[in-house]
Chain A
Amino acid sequence: MKTALRATLLFVLTIGRISSARAQVLPSEPVSFADGHVTISGDVSAAFGTSDTGFFNYSDYEHSQLRLFRLDLASAVKLNDRVSMLAEVRTENAGPVRVYALYVRVRPWTTRAIDIQAGRVPPTFGAFTRRTYASDNLLIGYPLAYQYLTSLRADALPLNVNELIAMRGRGWLSSYSIGNPVPDNGLPIASGFRWDTGVQVHAAAADVVEATVSVTNGTLSNPLFRDDNSGKQIAGRVSVHPREALQGLIVGVSAARGPFVSATAARGAVGDGHDGEFTQTAWGADIEYSRNYYLVRAETVFSEWRVPAVGAPVIDVPLRALATYVEGRYKIMPGLYAAARVDHLGFSEVTGTGGPETWDAPVTRVEVGGGYSLLRNLLLKVSGQHNVRDGGRVTSLNLVSAQVVYWF
């Protein structure tokens, strides 16, 4: 955490010094060379907030989205009219640099809007997954569906329902007796912070309808570079952007299904040959409408996971979760906006020795904040969060945070 604070302070001081001295020296457009064939852009954000003792905003055991310094560098190399290479590297809290995206994009017919992408590709499912950059996010926190850690893990499994219930509200560090014995963070419904690896096909018709399908190694909640079981995830999304009177409306539906339990954990639970049976299946719907100075979005994600029934009392499968958020932004004056998000994540019930209980603790979050653009590409955000959870060590927590965002 000290590293995060140091990196954040350094970034804020640097930005502050540059913006007060000669703001115009900051690049505001991507760097391009080789006659436009190579383009590089960057996103830098530094957030600092009050201590999240309830782990409401953690995306793994070490990284809270409210205390995070993040640097992204993205590049596109256009080899010819049909083939491009796209990549993005990221570092968080001045830690190791990770390859976040790396894929080749092929457009077989230059006159048709059909693209094939292969490698570590952008998420097919949902709407928020592709706008997780701080410059795209209206607030500082993330929607629960894409960030909040449930107690489920892909590499460790509960022996029975009591073990599962014992981990309610402890997704930031859960542990089970089957599979990996080391305590580690659980999985979100859909990861907003890792991309999956596979092949993706995208087609658009008349700028009105877009459709995407993909086959990848991991799952929504556990995207992977190398597969850890014998199955693949299939995901699809269709979105519609009506014209004329309904311009400004975007409606999308998504679905995904794939085995999420690692082969090692599945073997530990039920022996060899069953790792393809323990799947995550998800459906999503999203809507966005914008006009004049306001923007409203809503998204809901429903997921069910199948885990092995090992010991009694057995887990009633599938385990279900439903997350829904509504967010909005209103521009008050040039450069200044206000935003809010209301978010809820609920879980289905299982029956343990102590009676029926949701398998994880439901969470509700209300976040209110706003942003002020010091420059077009230098944004200062502030927000306040109220989190309520029906279980865990901390059941209610108010958090305040600020974030500086710079991009080129």
Chain B
Amino acid sequence: MRRVLVTFVVLVVPALLLSQGPRGSAAVGGSIRGRVELRRPAAPPERRPNVADLGSPAAVRDISDRLTSVVYMEDAPKSPAVVPGHVVLDQRDERFVPHVLAVTTGTVVDFPNSDRIFHNVFSLSKTRPFDLGRYAAGRSKAVTFDRPGIVRVFCDIHSHMNAFILVFNHPFFALTDMDGRYRIDNVPPGTYNLVAWNEGVSSGPQAVVVPEGGEAELDFALR
């Protein structure tokens, strides 16, 4: 009986505590949802005028990716460690797909080249400078993002290719869908400041109160 009690105290109690939320309270996590309105969406990427080229380049014009925003907590509560995973930032049709990634620290981002031409992915961001060199179609290289921050990614050969990777040290963030809607789940009850980001432009922090087990709503307007 004593052994059973010790086992319960050592294994089950911490597990129960952890499962009850980041603050160790018995509260049930809530959600934050809302919409980010882009009053003036960022212009789609354009090639530099190819005056010295002997012929027309392939067209690159796709606004959809630039509508993706990221909503994140500025003052996130402590949370159980998130197991970082692998995500993919593809190079396709002389574009990075997706254009915006949001990941937690420790995530490994794979950069496959799915084009028929060379690419050279690099970033000079202070958060994570890297240069993967030139590599051919069908090959992939990876970068681990260990520090939180915003990483701007470019191709050294094709200046119109660019992407953003937002790295967080907590899991309380979300990407918007094509209508600008977002949802952050499993948020411990409390008052938080949220920020919306789109193409390098951020909103000011906005406070939101998350009720226990309930849902809070917060909308943003950018640009």
> Which residues from chain A sit less than 8 Å from chain B, CB to CB?
24, 29-30, 32, 36, 39-41, 74-76, 84, 86-88, 101, 105, 107, 113-115, 117, 122, 124, 130-133, 200, 202-204, 207, 210, 212, 237, 243, 247-248, 290-293, 295, 331, 333-335, 373, 375-377, 407
In chain B, residues 46-80, which have Cβ atoms closer than 8 Å to a Cβ of chain A? 46-56, 61
Q: Complex Cα distance A204/B162, Å?
A: 26
Number of interface residues of B (CB under 8 A): 35
Q: A29-B45, A200-B54, A295-B134 are in contact. List 5 more A-B contacts (CB 8 A).
A: A29-B160, A29-B162, A39-B47, A74-B51, A335-B124
Residues of B within 8 A of A75 (CB): 49
Nearest A residue to B132 by beta-carbon distance?
A292
In chain B, residues 122-148, which have Cβ atoms closer than 8 Å to a Cβ of chain A? 122-124, 129-131, 133-137
A39-B48 in contact given A290-B134, A333-B131 (Cβ < 8 Å): yes
* Interface of B (DSSP majority class): loop
Q: Are B52 and A131 in contact (CB under 8 A)?
A: yes
B118 within 8 A of partner (CB): yes
A40-B49 in contact given A212-B54, A293-B133 (Cβ < 8 Å): yes
Residues of A within 8 A of B51 (CB): 74, 76, 86-88, 101, 122
Can you sample 15 A-B contacts with CB below 8 Å? A76-B49, A105-B56, A113-B56, A115-B56, A130-B52, A133-B52, A202-B54, A202-B55, A210-B55, A247-B118, A290-B118, A291-B133, A293-B133, A331-B133, A334-B131
Q: Are A292 and B124 in contact (CB under 8 A)?
A: no
B139 to chain A, nearest CB (A): 10
B208 within 8 A of partner (CB): no
* Interface of A (DSSP majority class): strand
Sorted from nearest, which 10 A-B pairs have the closest CB atoms?
A76-B49, A292-B133, A202-B55, A334-B129, A115-B55, A41-B48, A247-B136, A130-B52, A202-B54, A334-B131
Residues of B within 8 A of A132 (CB): 52
B43 within 8 A of partner (CB): yes
A122-B131 in contact given A32-B46, A39-B48 (Cβ < 8 Å): no
Q: Are A86 and B49 in contact (CB under 8 A)?
A: yes
Residues of B within 8 A of A200 (CB): 54
B154 within 8 A of partner (CB): yes
> Which residues from chain B sit less than 8 Å from chain A, CB to CB?
43-56, 61, 116-118, 122-124, 129-131, 133-137, 152, 154, 159-160, 162, 200
Q: Are B134 and A292 in contact (CB under 8 A)?
A: yes
Nearest B residue to A113 by beta-carbon distance?
B55
Q: Are A122 and B52 in contact (CB under 8 A)?
A: yes
Interface centre among B44, B46, B134 (most CB of A within 10 A): B46
Q: Are B131 and A331 in contact (CB under 8 A)?
A: yes
A376 to chain B, nearest CB (A): 6
Q: Are B54 and A207 in contact (CB under 8 A)?
A: no
A334-B123 in contact given A29-B46, A39-B49, A76-B50 (Cβ < 8 Å): yes
Nearest A residue to B123 by beta-carbon distance?
A334
A226 to chain B, nearest CB (A): 21
Q: Which of B45, B124, B200 touches A376 (beta carbons < 8 Å)?
A: B124
Residues of B within 8 A of A210 (CB): 54-55
Residues of A within 8 A of B46 (CB): 29-30, 32, 36, 39
